Chain A
Amino acid sequence: GQQVMQIPQYQHVQEGEDFTTYCNSSTTLSNIQWYKQRPGGHPVFLIQLVKSGEVKKQKRLTFQFGEAKKNSSLHITATQTTDVGTYFCAGGAAGNKLTFGGGTRVLVKP
């Protein structure tokens, strides 16, 4: 079945620095969604990418969908303490099913 992998598993970032987290699927995706889960919370939808090569920005967050629609990345600039949490990508396939990756846990050092 479809597998979605994320790297790195953990990301320790100095406040103010940039970082990127990556998502790779074993199969071609219809779309990719990104979610953020704060400690003790539930996943919250951030964005969906549908087109090959698509790039979307949300303030300091930049999301990209690969040309082959098998990978995606999330880049955060000028990391803040509010960015703490786990970021999940979720690969969308036909039939409304989403497969989540293992997540990247972001810790911010002030």
Chain B
Amino acid sequence: DAGVTQSPTHLIKTRGQQVTLRCSPKSGHDTVSWYQQALGQGPQFIFQYYEEEERQRGNFPDRFSGHQFPNYSSELNVNALLLGDSALYLCASSFRVPGPSSSYNSPLHFGNGTRLTVT
């Protein structure tokens, strides 16, 4: 049973370029969340996709966009890269918990991440 897979593992880009990161969720999971983790810090929530739509978004600019495909896999796109975008980008998959009032969150299963370096 494959876990969460991300590609590529490492990426070096130049300021102003665009990048696409890919994620395949754990088998049976339908929700994908993306996190940015700067060195020495905790993961920061970028957005979450469910049923091919962005359901929640963190405090990230519109340069960060995403997509979810019918097979639940997902892409994260970052345009006009800045030096500050250098980080580990983590994809996490989970089950969608029905209803906004549920007190339970499905645990996140993380991939190994994509290390993005912007020069």
Query: A53 vs B59: C-alpha distance in the bound complex, in angstroms?
Result: 31
Q: Establish whether residues A1 and B55, one from each chain, have CB atoms under 8 Å apart when the complex forms.
A: no
Closest to A42 in B: B110
A92-B105, A95-B56, A96-B105 given as contacts; is B100 within 8 A of A43 (CB)?
no
Q: Establish whether residues A30 and B105, one from each chain, have CB atoms under 8 Å apart when the complex forms.
A: yes
Partner of A1, one of B35, B59, B104, B109: B59
Specify which chain A residues have a CB less than 8 angstroms from the CB of B90 in the assembled complex. Answer: 42-43
Confirm or deny: A63 has a beta carbon within 8 angstroms of a beta carbon on chain B. no
Q: Establish whether residues A96 and B59, one from each chain, have CB atoms under 8 Å apart when the complex forms.
A: no
A31-B104, A33-B107 given as contacts; is B94 within 8 A of A97 (CB)?
no
Specify which chain B residues have a CB less than 8 angstroms from the CB of A88 in the assembled complex. Answer: 42-43
Query: A103 vs B39: C-alpha distance in the bound complex, in angstroms?
Result: 12
Partner of A99, one of B45, B50, B94, B100: B45
Report A18-63 residues with CB < 8 Å from chain B CB: 30-31, 33, 35, 41-45, 48, 50
Q: Establish whether residues A96 and B42, one from each chain, have CB atoms under 8 Å apart when the complex forms.
A: no
Q: Establish whether residues B107 and A45, one from each chain, have CB atoms under 8 Å apart when the complex forms.
A: yes
Confirm or deny: A98 has a beta carbon within 8 angstroms of a beta carbon on chain B. yes
Specify which chain A residues have a CB less than 8 angstroms from the CB of B103 in the assembled complex. Answer: 30-31, 50, 92
Partner of B105, one of A6, A98, A100: A98
Confirm or deny: A85 has a beta carbon within 8 angstroms of a beta carbon on chain B. no
Q: Mark A76-97, 1 if CB is under 8 A from B, else 0.
A: 0000000000001010101111
CB of B90 to closest CB in A, whole Å: 6
Specify which chain A residues have a CB less than 8 angstroms from the CB of B48 in the assembled complex. Answer: 96-97
**B residues neighboring A (CB under 8 Å):** 31, 33, 35, 41-45, 48, 50, 55-56, 59, 90, 94, 96-97, 100-113
**A residues neighboring B (CB under 8 Å):** 1, 6, 30-31, 33, 35, 41-45, 48, 50, 88, 90, 92, 94-103
Ordered by A's residue number, 13 sampled pairs between the chains whose C-beta atoms are within 8 Å are A6-B42, A30-B102, A30-B105, A31-B104, A31-B105, A43-B90, A45-B107, A88-B43, A90-B108, A96-B55, A98-B33, A100-B44, A103-B42
